[in-house]
Chain A
Amino acid sequence: MKLDDKLYLVRFNTDKLNHIKISDPKVCLNQCQDKPCTRFCPAHVYDWDEEEKRISVGYEGCLECGTCLIGCPYGNIIWKYPRGGFGVSWKNG
């Protein structure tokens, strides 16, 4: 089963405010060869945008696990919880 189809099953109360920020996009472009965030995020929130030469962040699909905060080798992802009441809302847990 494809990840996109699975994410479609998840319930979100999407906030207008983005709770994820790339601290310095130049670090992604110049220092980070491997870009592991594009793989280790269970929801594939992070994607390398070849045209814009930056990591695009689809915060709306964030499952709030916190992997990116710990996994980014440059500590370049500022990940916080969404505001109270927003974000993922599990049906089963």
Chain B
Amino acid sequence: MENFDVIIVGGGPAGLSAAISAANGGMKTLVIERGDYPGTKNVMGGILYTKATDMVVSEFWKEAPLERPIIEQRIAMLSGDESILAGYRDPDWAKEPYNAHSILRVKFDRWLAQQAEKAGVMIITETLVEDLLYQNGNVVGVRTGRAEGDLGAKVVIIAEGVNNFLAVKTGLAKPLKPASVAVTVKEVIALPKEKIEDRFCLDEGQGATIELYGDSTAGMMGVGFIYTNKDSISIGVGAILASVIREQWTPNDLLENLKSKPYVKRLLQGGETKEYLAHLIPEGGYTQVPRLHRQGVMVVGDTAMLMNSLNREGSNLAMISGKIAGEVAAQAIKAGDVSDQAMAVYEARLRDSFVLKDLYHYRHMGQFFENNPHLLKIYPKMFSKAAKMYLTADGTPKKQRQKEIMQMLFNQRSKGGIIKDIYGAWRALL
């Protein structure tokens, strides 16, 4: 049996970040990936955050296959054919140090894997890890699906993605529930560069994002998204699985519904769909974060439920968690102590970082939306109606119109209800 210091299960951003930091710490490091090469099984929206990525590969933007630097972020609220928009644009985001880029994961993850190899990491592909190996109750490696496929390791880092098979098997995580994942589908739609830039009011090479709430998910808890790539657009929609089941939607119908909205249709017009993708997003939040470590094992990225959906941050949480886990593995192995206590340094450092601080901050959010399914159904409608009444010039004096708007709002939702919703939102989000 071949032995390594650190074995990482899964070649996504979390796993590859872990591999790079472990190898930089002098460890003999192996990544095991089930796809043809890292990236071919991986899906995200996909926005990559500069700061976190820079901490893994310094000045990555000079070489990495990125699509467009994001200079504008819009939020849309859809109600039927109506939409309310808000946005923030900063042309400075088109320059170093940037804030975020759109990416396509097959290209990016492959590049990140090449950086790992440059750091000395060995990567084996087309190999599924089926279980961890134990000796006297201690984890001592992994069992792969290959013949004579046992591999020894002092530390195993589980970066298997949202489907947490190994984390469950080793007793750290529980099986996922329909309320804690969002089933998400996406299309990559080819469009000429100039059309993308014209439609999104962008200078050459710049990118924009739009997150769409309300009728984009038929009022279910979730979000639609549109991201500009170099010569394609990624459009997708995700909603909590429990509500998709309850409201009897199919994911593809939800996506087609979003694509048919007047505001969206025009952005995509004439485009050609190149790929249709599906993925789960871990939405359990802080309360569903599994145990993050045990003797010889750490859990990172999506497997660890590290996702801040409100701010659409996931890849950065994944990369930081991976980076820290790789460092902790190297330190522990050098000190000759891979006990649970030694691995606990990983959790302590995550708690000290924005990763678990942000999840903790939003710990009431999931429950809040679950308990108040009316929020994303009635408020987009109320706001649209209010905007329409306010902006329609029909000769009604404004004082009277404002009164009518208030009456309309309170007809849709009682004063007490609105106060309760605002208080709830305040508590969940601020």
Contact = CB atoms under 8 A, between A and B. Distances in A.
Interface residues of B, number: 53
A90 B277 contact: yes
B386 to A, nearest CB: 35
B275 A69 contact: no
Interface in B23-71: 34-36, 39-44, 46
Contacts of A88: 40-41
A43 B278 contact: yes
Q: Choose among B126, B128, B176, B277 the residue with the greatest number of A CB atoms under 10 Å from its CB.
A: B277
Contacts of B245: 36, 39-40, 71, 73
Nearest to B251: A42
A23 interface: no
Q: Choose among B125, B163, B185, B244 the residue with the greatest number of A CB atoms under 10 Å from its CB.
A: B163
Contacts of A70: 175-178, 181, 241, 280
Main secondary structure of the interface of A (DSSP, over half): loop
B187 interface: yes
A19 B145 CA distance: 13
A41 to B, nearest CB: 8
Contacts of A10: 275-277
Interface in B216-252: 232, 241, 244-245, 248-252
B177 to A, nearest CB: 7
Contacts of A9: 273-276
Contacts of A93: 39-40, 42-44, 46, 104-109, 277
Contacts of A80: 165
Interface in A14-72: 36, 39-40, 42-44, 63-67, 69-71
Interface string A64-92: 11110111010000001101110111111
B6 interface: no
A71 B146 CA distance: 30
A92 B273 CA distance: 12
A89 B104 CA distance: 14
A69 B178 CA distance: 10
B339 interface: no
A2 B181 CA distance: 25
B138 interface: no
A93 B108 CA distance: 9
B274 to A, nearest CB: 7
Given A6-B273, A93-B42, 12 more contacts: A1-B256, A9-B273, A9-B274, A40-B250, A44-B252, A69-B163, A83-B128, A83-B145, A84-B126, A84-B145, A90-B40, A90-B105
Interface of B: 34-36, 39-44, 46, 104-109, 125-128, 144-146, 162-163, 165, 175-178, 181, 183, 185, 187-188, 232, 241, 244-245, 248-252, 256, 273-280
